[in-house]
Amino acid sequence: MSDSIKTAVILTNLGTPDKPEASAVKRYLREFLSDSRVVEGKGLRRIAWLAVLNFIILNLRPRKVAKLYRSIWEDDSPMRKILNEQVTELQLLLQQNYETAPCVFAGMTYGSPSLKERLESLAGHGYQRVLIIPMYPQYSATTTAPIYDQVARFQLGRREVLDIRIVKSFYNHPAYINSLAQSIRLFRQSAQPAEKLMLSYHGIPKEYADKGDPYPQQCHQTSVLVAKALGLSENEWVTTFQSRFGPAQWLQPYTDKTLESLAQKQVKAVDVVCPAFTADCLETLEEIAEENKEVFHKAGGESYQYIPAVNSSPAFIAALMTLVQEQSADWLKLDNQADEKNNAV
């Protein structure tokens, strides 16, 4: 690789407010929920949504959400803190294994550090090649596609565009499946395994799936592969979808309704994991770990355990390195034999 060519890797997640305060939450929610990829609609439907967002949601939700953030906030939001840890650990692993290791950075689709600002900074510092890894194993037009949109807007009008690659998905990648299965296995070794493992994914409106979003199929494929890796029989696990919002029908079965149904069927113990999340955040730590525990207990369930996301576990960091190797081998020549040959000269 020529010394004049600089290569970067950006790990990109959804985003988080800058502070656990209503004003910061309001700014974040406005940016997030104003994206037409997140809440689709054109014409009058779009106008109606923006009216609801600006005059109702942004006046009612920020204080409540800020309070929830304060309950999980330490020196930073969990998502941003974990993303920075993932960046640090991936950088170290790459440097330990390859002489031509790229520099690793963090970027958020919404909030800070923003992907747009990160790309502008990298261009200003002479980086010519960028590999972006969205931290969403399963592709959706509501999560991964906005990253493509931001990259397109960044490139628009540039005299010399950067060479940018994006990992579209890795829902069935053996390294990711291994890291997720290992995370579940280690948790269940340290705690009494439940009779049912629930793999709960963030939901999307059914309308989006009907229009061709591949997200639900990829979620189900992830579940099948994880269950196989864990050696589970069909009656030992279930796939569900969480966090529905508004009156429209979302992907089913719903997580909360399934928990109630399981308890009513005398299933006393459930372990819940969220494979669509590679970093714990408000949704996993509050809605899944706390609110849904209460749902299960109220319905008659006894033991409810939330299994943390893969976060910065060694197996997941190794999976990220594998993605870097596969997606940028021709750029970086990350090859052990080549490194050994260079060292021998």
Q: Please tell me the predicted confidence (pLDDT) of residue 335.
A: 39
DSSP letter string, 130-163 = EEEEES-SS--TTTTHHHHHHHHHHHTT-SS--E
Q: Please tell me the predicted confidence (pLDDT) of residue 97.
A: 87
Tokens of 124: 């200003």
Query: Is-contact 115 143, C-beta < 8 A?
Result: no
Ranges of each domain in the chain: 6-167, 174-306
Q: Please tell me the predicted confidence (pLDDT) of residue 4.
A: 57
- Is residue 260 marked as binding? no
Judged by DSSP in three states, 2 sits in coil
Tokens of 28: 């974040």
Do 6-167 and 174-306 show the same overall fold? Answer: yes
| Architecture (CATH level 2) of domain 174-306 | 3-Layer(aba) Sandwich (3.40)
What is the pTM for the complete model shown? 0.94
Cα distance between residue 255 and residue 259, in whole Å: 6
Nearest to 172 by CA among 9, 281, 319: 319
Cα distance between residue 171 and residue 136, in whole Å: 8
Residue 30 makes CB contacts below 8 A (sequence gap 6+) with 53, 54, 58
Cα dist. 42→45, 48, 52, 206, 210 in Å? Answer: 6, 10, 15, 18, 17
Q: Please tell me the predicted confidence (pLDDT) of residue 2.
A: 45
Nearest to 1 by CA among 100, 144, 71, 104: 100
Q: Please tell me the predicted confidence (pLDDT) of residue 5.
A: 83
CA dihedral sign, ordered 133, 79, 127, 120: positive
Q: Please tell me the predicted confidence (pLDDT) of residue 36.
A: 96
- Is residue 202 marked as binding? yes
Q: Please tell me the predicted confidence (pLDDT) of residue 343.
A: 57
Residues of the chain with pLDDT under 70: 1-4, 334-345
DSSP letter string, 77-102 = -HHHHHHHHHHHHHHHHHHHH-TTPP
Place of tokens 């609801």: 52
Please tell me whether the peptide bond between 193 and the residue prior to it is cis, using omega within 30 degrees of 0. no
* 108, β-bridge pairs: 13, 114
Cα distance between residue 104 and residue 117, in whole Å: 15
Domain 6-167: CATH class, spelled out: alpha beta
